[in-house]
Amino acid sequence: MSTFLLLTITGLGLGAMYFLIASGLSLIYGLMGVLNFAHGVFITVTGYTLWFTESKLGGVPVLPRFLIAALVGLIVGTVFAALVELVLIRPLYGRHIEQVLVTVGVALAVTALVTAIWGSDARVVAAPAWVGDTTTIFGAHIPNDRWLEIAAAAVVLFALEAFLRRTRYGLIVRAGVENRSMVTALGIDVRRSFTLVFAIGGLAAGIAAVLYTLYSTTVDPQQGTSLVIFAFIVVVIGGLGSIRGTAWAAVIVGLVQQYANYYASSGLGDLSVVLLLGIVLIARPSGLSRSFA
């Protein structure tokens, strides 16, 4: 029983991470029709900024140092995401394939640049000690960072829902996902919200990056890319452009991956997620969103 509980909480933690990355991807796709391959780079930028800031703050105790570094990382990651939209995506409005191609170019070039400057080996990040400890619940020893992941994803889900349902910008974004040309016809410049959506996506991915460095205590140039591939799967299973669908899909994918890795065999978790994707596509080509919405 305690093993099952441990797997469930860890699976939820993993799902939380996927949700943080996939929510931005899903919003960007829903509103702009762009599959953002550069999303993994947002993770890399935040992660490396965090590591770099931390390494410059030598004398400061671990907890404030990590918090400051995380804050700087999040700001830089968000600004970077907004800049990618403004400088590289904006000039190509209406040309979806070219926009996807540019994000691919950004993903490859920035990853290569980071590798060139800091090498391909992982860099160690000092995380507060509490995060590495475990909390015992019903006999299950659960690593503390999992609680942080779940809490952060819950807050982001809540904040996104509140933003989308309660604010004027959220209304424009929702309407834009539904029917962009109609919103434009009503005299609202949807394109202004594009930068906003990119910044939100960058921020959410940055939060995932901070949590991932807590979990792995390292940053490396490839980790963004590997996380994003699962986030892509989550977005497709959840139905493109739906935040709630994405949240459900992230939880399902995280749990399936953990259970399969433990009860079947290690490595099978990743494969069963792909299998799940195949089943969902055969049964429901548009993703799960309609069944949950």
Partner 1 sequence: MKRFAVPAAIVVALAFLPKLTVDIPYLFQESLNTPGTLELLALCLLFGGLALSYDLLFGFTGLLSFGHALYFAVGVYVAAIAMTSWHWSFWQSVLFTALVGFLLAVVLGAVSLRVSGIAFAMVTLAFAQAGSILALKDPYGWTGGEEGFGVDYHKLPAWTVGILNTKHLYWIALAYAAAVFAIVRFAINSSPGHVWQAIRENELRVQVLGLKPYSYKLMSFVLASLLATAGGVVYLLLVGGASTEVTTASFTLTLLLMVVIGGTGSRWGAMIGGILYTYANQRLSDLSSSHAVSQLPSILRTPLQQPLFILGVLFILVVFFVPGGLTRIGQVGLRLDRILRRPATREETA
Q: In the complex, which residues of this chain contact partner 1 (CB under 8 A)?
A: 29, 33, 35, 37, 88, 91-98, 100-102, 104-113, 115-117, 225, 229, 232-233, 235-236, 240, 265-267, 270-271, 274-275, 277-278, 281-282, 285
The least CB distance from residue 9 to partner 1, in Å, is 24
Rounded Cα–Cα distance for residues 143 and 129 (Å): 11
Q: CB-wise, 37 or 66, nearer to partner 1? A: 37
Q: CB-wise, 95 or 165, nearer to partner 1? A: 95
Rounded Cα–Cα distance for residues 94 and 139 (Å): 55
Asked if 267 and 274 count as a contact pair (C-beta separation under 8 A), the reply is no
Rounded Cα–Cα distance for residues 143 and 90 (Å): 42
The least CB distance from residue 39 to partner 1, in Å, is 12
Strands 218-219 and 134-137: unpaired
Describe the crossing of helices 223-238 and 2-32 by its angle, rounded to 10 degrees: 80
The least CB distance from residue 18 to partner 1, in Å, is 13
The least CB distance from residue 25 to partner 1, in Å, is 10
Phi-psi region for residue 119, left (φ > 0), alpha (ψ -120 to 50) or beta?
left
The least CB distance from residue 258 to partner 1, in Å, is 16
The least CB distance from residue 95 to partner 1, in Å, is 5
Q: CB-wise, 35 or 207, nearer to partner 1? A: 35
- Supply 49's token pair: 């900024």
Asked if 2 and 140 count as a contact pair (C-beta separation under 8 A), the reply is yes
Phi-psi region for residue 189, left (φ > 0), alpha (ψ -120 to 50) or beta?
beta
Residue with tokens 């949807």: 190
Q: CB-wise, 110 or 255, nearer to partner 1? A: 110
Q: CB-wise, 93 or 130, nearer to partner 1? A: 93
Q: CB-wise, 106 or 219, nearer to partner 1? A: 106
Whose CA is closest to 50, among 231, 227, 208? Answer: 208
Q: CB-wise, 82 or 107, nearer to partner 1? A: 107
Rounded Cα–Cα distance for residues 184 and 195 (Å): 16
- Supply 59's token pair: 């004398």
The least CB distance from residue 122 to partner 1, in Å, is 15
Q: Helix (H) and strand (E) counts for the chain?
A: 13, 4
